[in-house]
Amino acid sequence: MAQTLTEKIIARHAGRDSVRPGEYVDVSVDQTWSDDLGAPITLGLLEKHGVSSVFDKSRVFVTSMVNAPARSIETAEVLKLIRTLCRKYDIPLYEMGSAAIHNALGIERGVTLPGELIVGGNSHACMAGALGCYATGMGSTDIAAILATGRTWIEVPRTIRYRYTGRLQKWVTGKDLILHTIGRIGVAGADNAAMEFVGDPVAELEVEERLSMSNMAIEAGGQNAIIEPDAKTLAYVRPIARRPFEPIRGDAGAVVSEEIEIPIGDLEPVIAAPFLPSNTASWREVRGLALDQVYIGSCTNGWISDLRAAAKILEGRRVADGLRVIVIPSTAKIHRQAVEEGLAQVFLEAGAAFSMPTCGPCIGAQAGVLADGERCLATSNRNFPGRQGSVKSETYLCNPVIAAASAVKGVIASPDDL
């Protein structure tokens, strides 16, 4: 029976020849992770139930990425507990000088690979699917069970295929394709489905732009997002892979529940206005809207390619008077690379703040929390009420070049406005 790419990966990890949408199957997990929000619960459950070791410490890691460096005595105690539990279970812990947003770290360290089945303790774990693996997020108790057994259960999702057509226009990125898609189908438009992205525009994107697409599948309700691995994927993954892997491709003639054609030949950079990622418009429709803060980073757009794109716009320019601009790489390695390439110097000379890796501003935890009435333009993935601070603040979502240009103008703008 012909199978989609998602179905083939799940079937292989269930030890079966094939699976059907709607089936519940028990599968092996290739990689998992947790963070300083979920790890106290996850590792505490192992301790409570007398689990003495994890299934394979090379396939598990923890990052302190939300409240680190500690922002209060309470968070310092949580981080201390995580360090204690990670030592007890001999689990790799990444914090401070090795800090990273775990969704990006798994990719960077070469432990989320084509053909694998990945479950992370964060809803944006689906990002890894752009490499041609099945990747999804689960809660803290599910991750605890995986740590103990190396297995979990999955409801096999139906596959919705999104076929992009046309040529990418100037300043349009993978972030714009996914925002446009969510704007078209809504935040529940792919409810519990596998979102499969295909077409020439997707093939034209570099891998890190594809990752920004798969990252936001959860904002459309998707169980996972996936892009069939091609030469670009393999060139990206092979030098960093920590273990052997086997790329898998979907079968010709596989049945999908729906195929949606998305023409993008006339698409301009997209903005998602408050308070949903689906509340989208062309940047021109909100052009000139005044800003209090610009945030470039998060697991969605904190890659080195994103920082290079933003720095190219900011080089030789200054951010607008009275505007706060925060640039945050996704991982410590990207942070160091930005310093070595001179990108950090560009940001600092432009008047922006350049921070160590953290989820902080994205989730309203630290390093850029918004006050009542403030408006932020961000390259992150969510703009719900109170997501980045006060419930009376506003967050608009965009791609990195729009964010950088807007940082210079102090209002929503395009590089062509500079």
pLDDT in tens, 107-129: 999 999 999 999 999 999 999 99
- Average pLDDT of the chain? 96
Q: How far apart are CA 62 and CA 76, in angstroms?
A: 16
- Which of 65-79, 140-154, 261-275, 318-332 is predicted least confidently? 65-79
Is residue 373 over pLDDT 90? yes
For residues 47-76, average pLDDT:
93
For residues 65-81, average pLDDT:
91
For residues 231-241, average pLDDT:
97
Q: Do the Cβ atoms of 79 and 67 come closer than 8 Å?
A: yes
For residues 321-336, average pLDDT:
96
CA angle 182, 213, 404 (to 5 degrees): 95
**Where is pLDDT greater, at 1 or 42?**
42
Is residue 265 over pLDDT 90? yes
Domains with residue ranges and CATH for the chain = 5-242+255-261 (3.30.499.10), 270-413 (3.30.499.10)
Is residue 364 over pLDDT 90? no
What local confidence, expressed as pLDDT, does residue 96 receive? 87
pLDDT digits (tens, 9 = 90+) for 128-152: 999 999 999 999 999 999 999 999 9
Burial class (CB in 10 A: 0-12, 13-18, 19+), 69: middle
List residues bridging with 159 in a β-sheet.
Answer: 194
What local confidence, expressed as pLDDT, does residue 1 receive? 85
Is residue 366 over pLDDT 90? no
Other beta carbons within 10 angstroms of residue 285's beta carbon come to: 13
What local confidence, expressed as pLDDT, does residue 367 receive? 85
pLDDT digits (tens, 9 = 90+) for 174-184: 999 999 999 99
- What values do phi and psi take at 377, rounded to 5? -105, 120
Is residue 38 over pLDDT 90? yes
Per-residue confidence band for 301, with pLDDT thresholds at 50, 70 and 90: very high
Strand blocks (E) in 143-231: 151-155, 159-165, 194-198, 224-226
What local confidence, expressed as pLDDT, does residue 71 receive? 85
For residues 297-310, average pLDDT:
96
Q: Do the Cβ atoms of 164 and 202 come closer than 8 Å?
A: yes
Is residue 155 over pLDDT 90? yes
Total-model pTM: 0.95
